């Protein structure tokens, strides 16, 4: 993350920084485990929610085509 931040052309706000850290923490290491599986941290779970429209589905972070 420290080597990535200088390469972006904007200063991330708090929400963007949290999103970046989620990607890092949920990502797999060389052993194929994320930070929670390694026992380093407890990660928040993403709860699925009922979507009322196709636009809501597309905007959902967990949406996969």
- Does the pLDDT at position 55 exceed 70? yes
Q: What is the pTM of this model?
A: 0.46
Residues for the chain: how many in total?
A: 65
pLDDT of 61: 66
Contact 25, 43 (CB under 8 A): yes
pLDDT tens per residue, range 25-37: 888 888 888 888 8
């Amino acid at each position: 993350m420290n080597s990535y931040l200088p390469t972006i052309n904007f200063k991330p706000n708090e929400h963007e920084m949290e999103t970046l850290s989620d990607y890092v923490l949920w990502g797999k290491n060389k052993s194929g485990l994320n930070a929670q599986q390694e026992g380093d941290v407890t990660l928040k779970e993403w709860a699925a929610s009922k979507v009322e429209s196709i636009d809501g589905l597309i905007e959902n972070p967990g949406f996969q085509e």
